[in-house]
Amino acid sequence: MRGGASREAAFDSPSATRPRLSGAMAPPLPSPSMAPPGLIHSAPGLLDTCALPQPPAAATMSGPAAETPSAIQICRIMRPDDANVAGNVHGGTVLKMIEEAGAIISTRHCNSQNGERCVAALARVERTDFLSPMCIGEVAHVSAEITYTSKHSVEVQVHVMSENILTGTKKLTNKATLWYVPLSLKNVDKVLEVPPVVYSRQEQEEEGRKRYEAQKLERMETKWRNGDIIQPVLNPGVTMKLMDEVAGIVAARHCKTNIVTASVDAINFHDKIRKGCVITISGRMTFTSNKSMEIEVLVDADPVVNNFVKRYRAASAFFTYVSLSPEGKSLPVPQLVPETEDEKKRFEEGKGRYLQMKAKRQGQAETQA
């Protein structure tokens, strides 16, 4: 590629250093009889958490543990090590908090009835939009809610609000949809059944079923396109954070300006990252529009202690970044000039994704108008 367009970055990390599921480390949530819903409990080094009352339109849980909340919130103040040099919080930091909230609520729900104990593993992250930058000193409020369950999966929708603690002003910064499946603690290769939820309106279940069928079709298309399978994984938050960091390096090298994550296309997990593996995360720019850049990020696992298993693809995703001026306004980005046939093919595929998403946003805007 010409014009400074060949931008790649890689990050190696042993998977053994990744932490356990955040739900096991979080402090206890206050019960409604002990504290008001807005009370925040803090513990050194841990995320601040508080239980939220269930919205009237939310799906409710059925079974012996029906009192288990179907919505939770994780809160944390953003610190300097969460952000880039311009003070904007890394998209990977937000992605990690989103996944932690989803893992906590889905694991709680999957264990809400008597039966085999399990842990909810992330199977897929739908497109995640970064609507507004978050800055150092602001408080992130990550709200997760169970919106649909199938026989073996849980849909969790997550909204992230940023709060300026000086003025009290809040704004929506992120929206995401995640799918989890329950894996047995006795055998993590065994998928268990999900306790059903009771919907307040029949339309909720029908809309949820449509979303389930749509993401199932997309997973099948990914399988057909890549020739591999999509598997649920445990504790993917650290990997997702590193993927965003690598994409950010590629974008920053290309623009030489302040860059922020604009969106993340569906993150697909192709295989589990096994203990003792070294993961290599690489990124390459695939497409540029006038004011955005698409970076493909690949995660490969190398089982260095096992000579019988070859290096394999563990995860992949497309990140979209935008360039910002010192005043926070979007800037034009240098155009990518593909040269080889593979580069031209990836560029046209990225252009197709860009135009498809642009048309979708325009359709949504017309519908709301």
**Predicted confidence (pLDDT) per residue in 129-141, tens digit:** 899 999 999 999 9
Local confidence pLDDT in tens for the 369 residues of the chain? 554 444 445 555 444 333 333 333 333 333 333 333 333 333 333 333 443 433 334 444 443 333 456 789 999 999 999 998 889 999 999 999 999 999 999 999 999 988 899 999 998 888 898 999 999 999 999 999 999 999 999 999 999 999 999 999 999 999 999 999 999 999 988 999 999 988 888 899 999 999 988 888 876 665 545 545 556 666 788 899 999 999 999 999 999 999 999 999 888 888 888 888 899 999 999 999 999 999 999 999 998 887 778 899 999 999 999 999 988 899 999 999 999 999 999 999 999 999 988 888 787 777 766
Please indicate, yes or no, if residue 10 is contained in any of the structural domains.
Answer: no
Q: Are residues 197 and 283 both part of a single domain?
A: no
Backbone angles phi, psi at 118, to 5 degrees: -150, 170
Please indicate, yes or no, if residue 1 is contained in any of the structural domains.
Answer: no
Q: Are residues 111 and 75 both part of a single domain?
A: yes
Please indicate, yes or no, if residue 45 is contained in any of the structural domains.
Answer: no
> Number of structural domains, the chain?
2
Please indicate, yes or no, if residue 81 is contained in any of the structural domains.
Answer: yes
| Separation of alpha carbons 128 and 109, rounded Å | 23
Strands (E), 36-79: 48-51, 60-61, 71-77
**Where does a domain end: 175, 198, 230?**
230
Please indicate, yes or no, if residue 306 is contained in any of the structural domains.
Answer: yes
Q: Are residues 187 and 316 both part of a single domain?
A: no
Query: Is the whole model's pTM more than 0.85, yes or no?
Result: no
User: What per-residue confidence (pLDDT) applies to 179?
Assistant: 92
Establish whether 244 is a catalytic residue. Answer: yes
Q: CATH number, domain at 282?
A: 3.10.129.10
Q: Which domain holds residue 203?
A: 69-230
Q: Are residues 259 and 344 both part of a single domain?
A: yes
- pLDDT, tens digit, 9 for 90 and up, residues 188-246: 889 999 999 888 888 999 999 999 888 888 766 655 455 455 566 667 888 999 999 99
Written as six digits, the tokens of 209 are: 């079923």
Cβ contacts of residue 80 below 8 Å, gap of 6+? 136
With beta carbons less than 8 A apart as the criterion, state whether 270 and 259 touch. no
Q: Are residues 302 and 219 both part of a single domain?
A: no
Establish whether 226 is a catalytic residue. Answer: no
Q: Are residues 73 and 220 both part of a single domain?
A: yes
DSSP SS3 for 237:
helix
Please indicate, yes or no, if residue 317 is contained in any of the structural domains.
Answer: yes
Residue of 48, 88, 235, 244 marked catalytic: 244
Backbone angles phi, psi at 329, to 5 degrees: -95, 145
